[in-house]
Amino acid sequence: MSCESLRKNKLDELFETCPRRRVTSDDRVVVFSDLHMGNGGRNDSFRHNGSLFCTVLERFYRDRRYHLVLNGDVEDLQRFSLRSIVHRWESVYHALGEVAASGGLTRIAGNHDLDWLEGGPAVSLIAMLGRDHWPELFIDTVHEGLRLQCPNGDIFVYHGHQASRWYQEHNNTVRVLLRYLANPLHISSPTVAADSRKRFKVERCAYEFASEKKILAMIGHTHRPLFESMSKTDSVLFEIELLCRSYPESDRQAEVEARVQELKVELEQIREIEAHTGNHESLYRENLLVPSLFNSGTVLGKFGMTCLEIEGGMLRLVYWYDSSRRERFRRFREHTPEPLYDTGIQRIVIKEESLSYIFSRVRLLA
């Protein structure tokens, strides 16, 4: 199915029919995606950052009364039974319940937890037997998308797998292969994040849809954090280009030269990291890049996790990491970390901008 057909069908329908939530300048919203919670075994990708995620929920977002949006692939129901996930990560579900009681919780389904929408075997009556004794899982119905209605425009939050019908049509087949072939052989799950061509297709489709609608799109699925349609590499290249354009007329050419040299070093470091992660694709090829696409990244980062925050009319891309771990690479080393009390966990604001300014640029450039 072409991206054009998709816009006219699936995404248009979802945008018009999904629930809406008003967001004022007094509200706080945080969006996480792609937890892929499993049973705690060696095939469970979440176990690396499970404690980090739980602590951040309890010590930061709960106390500040953020509304939490979980944007898909919360449980990996293709690989693991819901019962095994709940029993292993009971502390996480308690933390989710506490955040929900404080600021509210919205669940959105992704391709790895489509059973919540389709009533698949992971949420059948047999699978849910004994749920009365489980921690409180969810406050509201699991949705496929969410429209955040801000004073300056709408933010369309959805997982991103809707760029292809393949996930809906073959969900049952994928579940059988992963549970009964990949799990015993300890083969990792094939994700779109590992395929640069598919990743770029998803991001490009979301970008085009949001730009045409003159809205902001927040997705997950590709596991790659994006802010204003730009990855980390894009942001550095964009700043270098602006500095080069300003250089001939600048009365501070020495400062411009020094900054360009810093950015060149930073770009080399980023590309060294990208050589390990395989994240190379870019939307930067646009003549006028519309700042319409945002991606909260993933909780499964090797050294930390990313999310998107809305607070006081500002939109932020945030990186969380545990400073007690050895880190050969830290992707956002040029930013100043903020400690989370005495936990050893650090918070870094990678990028932030006012929503009014972002929406103004979207309207003018799209």
Domains of the chain: which residue ranges? 3-231+279-365, 235-275
| One-character DSSP codes across 66-130 | PEEEEES-SB-TTTS-HHHHHHHTHHHHHHHHHHHHHH-EEEE--GGGTHHHHT-GGGSTTTTTT
What average pLDDT does this structure show over 119-129?
A: 73
For residue 287, give the amino acid letter: N
Tokens matching residue 4: 């054009």
Answer yes or no: is pLDDT of 21 > 90: yes
Query: Partners of 315 in the beta sheet?
Result: 310, 353
Q: Please give the pLDDT value at position 342.
A: 93
Asked whether the whole model's pTM tops 0.75, one would answer yes
Residues 6+ apart with CB under 8 A from 208: 3, 7
Answer yes or no: is pLDDT of 366 > 90: no
Highest mean pLDDT among 124-138, 193-207, 278-292, 302-316: 302-316
Higher pLDDT, 336 or 327: 336
Q: What angle do CA 158, 88, 140 make, to 5 degrees?
A: 35
What average pLDDT does this structure show over 34-46?
A: 94
Indicate the pLDDT class of residue 36, thresholds 50, 70 and 90.
very high
Question: 252 by DSSP, 3-state: which?
Answer: coil
Rg of the chain on CA atoms, in Å: 20
Q: Which helix (H) or strand (E) holds 227?
A: none
Tokens matching residue 303: 């050294």
- The fold of 3-231+279-365 is Purple Acid Phosphatase; chain A, domain 2 (3.60.21)
Residues 6+ apart with CB under 8 A from 131: 137
Give 10-18 contacts, CB < 8 A, sequence gap 24+.
Answer: 10/162, 11/158, 11/162, 11/209, 14/144, 14/145, 14/158, 14/162, 15/145, 15/147, 15/156, 15/213, 18/143, 18/144, 18/145, 18/146, 18/147, 18/156, 18/158
Q: Is 76 exposed, middle or buried (0-12, 13-18, 19+ CB in 10 A)?
A: buried
Q: Which helix (H) or strand (E) holds 267?
A: helix 253-277
Q: How far apart are CA 94 and CA 91, in angstroms?
A: 5
Sign of the four-CA dihedral 192, 143, 205, 222:
negative
pLDDT tens-digit series, residues 49-103: 999 999 999 999 999 999 999 999 999 988 888 889 999 999 999 999 999 999 9
Q: How far apart are CA 306 and CA 68, in angstroms?
A: 14
Q: Please give the pLDDT value at position 229.
A: 84
Indicate the pLDDT class of residue 260, thresholds 50, 70 and 90.
confident
